Amino acid sequence: MIWEISDCSGLLAEVGKESLLRVLILGNWHAGSTADQYAKAFRQLGHGVVTAGAPFAASDAAAWQSAAEDERWHDSEQVRRYTDEVLHHSLTPDFVTPKGALLEWQDEWAEVEAVFRFEAYGETPVLQMVPQHVSSSLIVTDSHTRPPEVLGGLGTQDEHLFIQSRRTDMRYWLDRGKQSVHWLPVAVDPEIWLHHPAADKHHDVAFCGATNPKSHPDRVATLEYLQAAGIGVHIQHAFGTRAAQFFNQARVVFNRSLAGDLNMRVVEALCCGVPLVSDAVDGLEDMGLAEALLPYHDQESALEAIQDALSDQHRTRVEQMATEGRQIVLGRHTYEHRVQEILNIIAHRPVTASFPPQTQSPIETTIIIPAYNHWDDCTAPLVDHLRHPSPGQHIEVLIIDDGSDDETSVRDQIAGWEVIHRERNGGFAAACNSGARQAQGRYLVFLNNDTRPQDGWLEPLVRELQAGAGIVGSLILDPSGAVSSAGLAVSETGTWSNQKATPAGPGEQLAITGACLAVSRDLFLRLGGFDEAFVGGGGCEDVDLCLRSWHAGHKVVLQPESVILHREGTTRAQLLPRSRGEVARNQALLRERWTDIDRAALMRAAESRRADHVATVADSRSLGGAPGDAGLPVPLAR
CATH of the domain at 424: 3.90.550.10
Is the residue at 250 inside a domain? yes
pLDDT at 532 over 70: yes
Which 3-state string (H, E, C) describes 577-607?
Answer: CHHHHHHHHHHHHHHHHECCCCHHHHHHHHH
Residues 506 and 547 in one domain: yes
Handedness of CA 492, 497, 501, 507 (dihedral sign): positive
Q: 338 in helix, strand or coil?
A: helix
pLDDT value for 244: 93
Predicted local confidence at residue 167, as pLDDT: 82
> What is the rounded CA–CA span in Å between residue 527 and residue 525?
5
Q: Per mean pLDDT, which of 234-238, 378-382, 574-578 is the most reliable?
A: 234-238
Report the pLDDT averaged over residues 109-133.
88
Residue 392 pLDDT: 55
Task: Note whether residue 527 is domain-resident.
Answer: yes
Residues 162 and 221 in one domain: no
The string of pLDDT tens digits covering residues 562-603 is 999 998 755 544 544 445 677 888 888 888 778 766 666 666
CA separation for the pair 103, 105 (Å, rounded): 7
Q: How many domains does the chain have?
A: 3
Calpha distance 109→127 (Å, rounded): 12
pTM of the model: 0.56
- In terms of domains, do 153 and 251 share one? no
Mean pLDDT of 217-239: 93
Query: What is the domain extent for residue 262?
Result: 203-332
Single-letter amino acid, residue 348: H
**Is it the case that residue 50 has pLDDT exceeding 60?**
yes
216 and 175 within one domain: no
Q: Note whether 390 and 309 are same-domain residues.
A: no
Question: DSSP assignment of 88-123, as one string?
Answer: HHPPPPSEE--TT-EEPPPGGGTT--EEEEEE-TT-
Residues 4-15: what's their mean pLDDT? 32
Residue 118 lies in a domain: yes
Amino acid at 171: R
Cβ–Cβ under 8 Å, residues 225 and 299 = yes
- Residue 271's Cβ-side half-sphere holds a number of Cα atoms within 13 Å equal to 28
Give the CATH number, domain containing residue 263.
3.40.50.2000
Long-range contacts of 141-147 (CB under 8 A, 24+ apart): 141/34, 141/165, 143/169, 144/169, 144/257, 144/258, 144/259, 144/260, 144/261, 144/263, 145/121, 145/215, 145/258, 145/259, 146/121
Question: Is residue 105 in a domain?
Answer: yes
* Closest listed residue to residue 623, CA positions, set 288, 251, 321, 232: 321
Instruction: Mark whether 228 and 157 lie in a shared domain.
Output: no
* Residue 255 belongs to a domain: yes
